[in-house]
């Protein structure tokens, strides 16, 4: 699980403080009607698919924050421990006084671990969900009065358009949470190349990556005993109902998640509990019992595999930090 972004999103108003500049780039390069048509086409496909970028309505954001605190879901706490334990070494590699661009910022909590030592002159929170970054920036601004804060609401999976939020000076891109795993390796390479193209002198990418490990451990991380991940997965149907003129009943579907070791990814699906007819984009879509809607992939990488991906994207200098168990890796690439 991780946080991408999109032009289609329903939120309540979350106004940041006056000294924070918030740029909404959701419709800058995407037609909402095209997005809806693509969403409907995915639901009529065989197998049906919903992009994970639709997880993040207001309820989805809240559920995702809860997932990050679950005992089974090790990535968040493990990455946090790496950033804390190796903070001095990371800051030495990254450098201080730069612009800091947080991709998929969410509640900005991981960036807050580094900001005191980085002495960033500008912090740019980039996310799918204005509902997340508005309140987060409101919390951070009084804590760091010398930092210029900006927020960009955009689908950076399609185009890394920051709308003039950064200047020509050195910049550190920060992409935590193993969110890169939501992309296929080819898609990940394309995104990494776009980041590399924005990196001038003394710039780079600090990125978190979940590593390949025992299937039982990964299965448990996406099937918590409290059912929070199941609720998160099912809630995407509520969001789709709003966005694409659908009448899905989440109770008619079951959460399914498992690690596929050959493909090196965790897959999440919604499985129809019975034969049902659903209105999708004004038309009828029949789901038979056992039919699945594919909602997410989360690719895992051995550190060497991801280092090769970074090198293919054009990064030449790499540093990596891991926890003692090797469950997670944080790379700095420049």
Domain locations along the chain: 67-213+301-333
Q: Is the pTM of this model over 0.85?
A: yes
Query: 332 pLDDT band (50/70/90 cuts)?
Result: very high
Bond prior to 239 in cis (omega within 30° of 0) = no
Mean pLDDT (whole number) for 161-185:
93
Position 12 pLDDT exceeds 50: no
Would you say residue 27 has pLDDT above 70? no
Per-residue pLDDT tens over the stretch 55-82: 989 899 899 999 999 999 999 999 999 9
- Are 153 and 3 in contact by the 8 Å Cβ rule? The answer is no
Q: How confident is the model at residue 30 (pLDDT cuts 50, 70, 90)?
A: low
The H or E element that residue 257 is part of is strand 253-260
At 5 the pLDDT is 39
- How many residues does this entry show for the chain? 334
Question: Residue 91 pLDDT more than 70?
Answer: yes
The pairing of strands 276-280 and 171-175 is unpaired
- Residue entry with tokens 């450098």: 95
Task: Please tell me the predicted confidence (pLDDT) of residue 19.
Answer: 64
HSE-up (13 A, CA, CB side) for residue 242: 13
Dmax (CA) for the chain in angstroms is: 58
Select from 301, 94, 91 the least CA-distant residue to 185.
Answer: 301
Q: Name the residue among 58, 8, 4 with its Cα closest to residue 36.
A: 8
Contact 330, 207 (CB under 8 A): yes
Residues 85-98, mean pLDDT to the nearest whole number: 97
**Sign of the Cα pseudo-torsion (56, 62, 63, 69, in order):** positive
* SS3 of residue 308 by DSSP: helix
Confidence of residue 275 (pLDDT cuts 50, 70, 90): very high
In tens, the pLDDT along 127-165 reads 877 777 888 888 999 999 999 999 998 888 777 888 788
Query: What's the rounded Cα separation, in Å, for the pair 303 and 221?
Result: 20
Q: Lowest mean pLDDT: which of 4-13, 148-157, 289-298? A: 4-13
Are the C-beta atoms of residues 237 and 221 closer than 8 Å to each other?
no
CATH superfamily, with its number, for domain 67-213+301-333: Vaccinia Virus protein VP39 (3.40.50.150)
Percent of residues in the chain assigned helix, strand, coil, to nearest 5: 35, 25, 40
pLDDT level of residue 13 (50, 70, 90 thresholds): very low
């Amino acid at each position: 699980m991780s946080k991408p972004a999109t032009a289609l999103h329903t939120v309540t108003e979350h106004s940041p403080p006056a000294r924070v500049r918030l740029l909404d780039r959701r419709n800058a390069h995407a037609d909402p009607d095209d997005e809806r048509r693509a969403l409907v086409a995915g639901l009529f496909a065989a197998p049906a698919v919903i992009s994970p970028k639709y997880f993040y309505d207001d309820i989805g954001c809240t559920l995702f924050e809860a997932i990050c605190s679950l005992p089974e879901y090790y990535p968040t706490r493990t990455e946090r421990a790496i950033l804390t334990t190796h903070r001095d070494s990371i800051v030495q590699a990254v450098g201080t006084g730069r612009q800091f661009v947080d991709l998929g910022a969410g509640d900005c909590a991981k960036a807050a671990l580094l900001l005191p030592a980085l002495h960033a002159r500008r912090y740019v929170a980039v996310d799918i969900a204005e509902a997340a970054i508005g309140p987060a920036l409101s919390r951070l601004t009084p804590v760091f009065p010398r930092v210029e804060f900006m927020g960009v609401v955009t689908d950076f999976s399609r185009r890394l358009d920051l709308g003039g939020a950064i200047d020509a000076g050195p910049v550190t891109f920060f992409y935590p949470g193993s969110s890169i795993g939501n992309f296929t390796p080819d898609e990940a390479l394309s995104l990494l190349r776009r980041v590399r193209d924005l990196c001038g002198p003394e710039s780079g990418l600090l990125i978190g990556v979940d590593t390949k490990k025992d299937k039982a451990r990964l299965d448990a991380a996406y099937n918590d005993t409290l059912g929070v991940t199941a609720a998160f997965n099912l809630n995407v149907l509520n969001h789709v109902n709003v966005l694409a003129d659908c009448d899905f009943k989440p109770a008619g579907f079951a959460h399914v998640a498992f690690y596929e070791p050959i493909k090196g990814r965790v897959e999440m699906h919604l499985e129809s509990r019975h034969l049902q007819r659903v209105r999708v984009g004004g038309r009828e879509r029949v789901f038979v019992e056992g039919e699945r809607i594919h909602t997410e992939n989360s690719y895992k990488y051995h550190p060497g595999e991801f280092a090769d991906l970074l090198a293919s994207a054009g990064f030449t200098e790499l540093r990596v930090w891991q926890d003692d168990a090797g469950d997670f890796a944080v790379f700095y690439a420049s």
